[in-house]
A and B are shown apart, each in its own frame.
Chain A
Amino acid sequence: MNLQSYIRLLRLTQVLLLALCMPAAGLAATVLAQQAHDPLTLDAKLIVFSILVATAGALASVLLRLNIMVAAEAAKPLEERRPLVQPWLFIAANLVGSYVAGLAGFMMGRANQWEVWNSMFVILILSFMGAKALDIIGEKLLSVDRFKG
């Protein structure tokens, strides 16, 4: 792995770590609330794990996108290969789509008082679909050439 690849991987890891901040903060809040005997603990847990499951949906969609981008570069001869152009743009779009769709799934589950398995399964599927939808919209609307740098 050359230096450019390492730098790319480090940037992506930074984005991933930033994306994990929200679930981690939620988890910390849950643990603190539980220690303080907060009566809303159940909802806090549900929110935290819904965010985590939605992040898994986003991860699947992000990897689908990155796999396409990396495979396209890998198909070229070694001297023509270039670093990925602003991959954070697609990662951010996927995360936003996933969380918005995951929120819709969460609200559906709460409104219908679904069992935890059904609720989480719907959130997982919806978050993947939401991430993919926003990824496709982003691909149509945003030209990555404008963000080269």
Chain B
Amino acid sequence: MTPMPRYWMSRLMLSCWTGSTGLVIATRPDSITAHLLGFGSSVIGTLCVILLIVFALFGVADFFINDLLPDRYRLAIIEHRHWGFVGMVAVLLLISSAIAMRDGVTFLLLPYLLPAAFAAVISFIDIFARDRKTATA
């Protein structure tokens, strides 16, 4: 099974997308989303945002070390990275549900539901596209 070419770009884009969303919530506590999620006041809400940033950082680190640097540099998470994307799906859906319950079904849900759908597809593809022997992009 050969690796899927240009597949790294999807992972990088998704990690940057979700990471920036999490950072906006964490660094702007006066934002609408931070208020809706109860960032800083709700334990699960704060945990979800922190986890979102952590998963995104793992995704970016995986890209830089496993895809960009020479082969002698290797991050061991490469064989388990689909869990990072599954975690993203779970956290993004939890955040979406909290927003939907407090603010209704609005376009504010799109920045969370769309990456959740992409992350679900990428986690699926990663299982099949990743070569377990060579473990490259």
A interface with B by C-beta (< 8 Å): 1-2, 5, 8-9, 12-13, 16, 27, 30-31, 34, 41-42, 45-46, 48-50, 52-53, 56-57, 59-60, 63, 66-67, 70-71, 74-75, 116-118, 120-121, 124
Q: Are A30 and B105 in contact (CB under 8 A)?
A: yes
User: Which 10 A-B pairs have CB atoms at the shortest separation, nearest pair first?
Assistant: A49-B97, A117-B44, A74-B132, A116-B101, A56-B90, A120-B97, A60-B86, A56-B89, A56-B93, A53-B93
Stretch at the interface among B15-23, B56-64, B66-74, B118-126: B118-126
A74–B134 Cα distance when bound, in Å, is 11
Write the chain B residue with the least CB distance to A81: B1
- Specify which of A9, A16, A46 is in contact with B128 (CB 8 Å cutoff): A9
With contacts A45-B105, A63-B82, A67-B82 taken as known, whether A124 is within 8 angstroms of B1 at the C-beta atoms is no
Q: Give the interface SS of chain B, mostly helix, strand, loop or mixed.
A: helix
Q: How far is the CB of B44 from chain A (nearest CB, A)?
A: 4
**Cβ contact within 8 Å between B127 and A31:** no
Interface residues of B (CB under 8 A from A): 1-2, 4, 38, 42, 44-45, 82-83, 86, 89-90, 93-94, 96-98, 100-102, 104-105, 116, 120, 123-125, 127-129, 131-133
CA distance A120 to B86 in the complex (A): 16
Chain B residue with minimal CB distance to A124? B90
Contacts of B89 in A (CB 8 A): 56, 59
